[in-house]
Amino acid sequence: MKKLLLAVPFTVLLTACGPASVEDLMEDPELLGKVMQECTMKMAQGKDSDSEECKNAAEAQKKMTNNMMKGMMKQLGQ
């Protein structure tokens, strides 16, 4: 229990330091989904979505898609 009480504030401090990196977003699809949803909402509301966090999310999504395509091509023997 004590470890949990120490881990929670530490996690909050790390996430408050700045936007999630491309690697962080690739490792945590749930976080990627949340960031993409926030960026989409900003765009829909006409707000500026040209933030580092939105750029990182787009790059993570692009890399994940490329990795999936490479895996599929490998399975097909190409």
Per residue in 35-77, pLDDT tens? 999 999 999 999 998 999 999 999 999 999 999 999 999 999 8
pTM: 0.70
Average of per-residue pLDDT across 18-39 = 94
| Residue ranges making up the domain that contains 23 | 19-75
Buried b (16+ CB within 10 A) or exposed e, 25-52: bbeeeebbeebbeebeeeeeeeeebeee
Whether the per-residue pLDDT at 5 is higher than 90: the answer is: no
- Number of domains composing the chain: 1
Whether the pLDDT of residue 4 is over 70: the answer is no
Cβ proximity of 27 and 68 under 8 Å: no
Residue 14 placed within a domain: no
Residue 28 lies in a domain: yes
Q: What is the average per-residue pLDDT within 24-37?
A: 95
